[in-house]
């Protein structure tokens, strides 16, 4: 079997600081690259050791991969490895929970919109908001 290959570019990453705080960081994009990447994902990082599930971080990326591609998970883990704040979240202890964002190929949402998209994805997977 041959590997497809592809490109993934992180646009924003965030660390969840408990129940009421998120610290996020915008990334500098390679000029002209994101227009050629057809898929965008909000990817939450969940601590496998927490019950109920707890989202500890996340990122938004543009990628040539689709979540059905064999190498998708490796591409997402690759983004963890190259992002200093995220490289501590390894597969043995953390799960990646991606959600596809429907957006035109050439678009990048505003910073506030991306934070909201990531928070929405986190709320979908997290239980910290439940009473």
List, in sequence order, every residue forming a beta bridge with 25; answer none if it has no partner: 13
User: Residue 30's pLDDT band (boundaries 50, 70, 90)?
Assistant: confident
Instruction: Decide if 22 contacts 16 (C-beta within 8 A).
Output: yes
pLDDT value at position 127? 60
- pTM assigned to the model: 0.89
Average pLDDT over residues 9-23: 88
Q: Among candidates 7, 14, 44, 57, which has minimal Cα distance to 29? A: 7
pLDDT of residue 1: 38
Per-residue confidence (pLDDT) for residue 38, from 0 to 100? 92
């Amino acid at each position: 079997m041959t590997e497809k290959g592809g490109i993934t570019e992180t646009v924003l990453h965030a660390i969840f600081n408990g129940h009421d705080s998120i610290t996020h960081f915008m990334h500098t994009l390679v000029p002209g690259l994101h227009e050629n990447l057809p898929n965008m994902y909000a990817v939450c990082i969940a601590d496998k050791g927490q019950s109920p599930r707890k989202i500890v971080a996340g990122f938004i990326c543009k990628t040539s991969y689709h979540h059905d591609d064999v190498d998708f998970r490796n591409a997402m883990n690759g983004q963890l490895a190259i992002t200093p704040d995220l490289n501590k979240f390894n597969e043995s202890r953390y799960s990646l929970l991606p959600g596809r964002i429907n957006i035109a190929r050439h678009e990048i949402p505003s910073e506030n919109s991306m934070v909201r998209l990531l928070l929405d994805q986190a709320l979908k997977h997290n239980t910290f908001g439940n009473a």
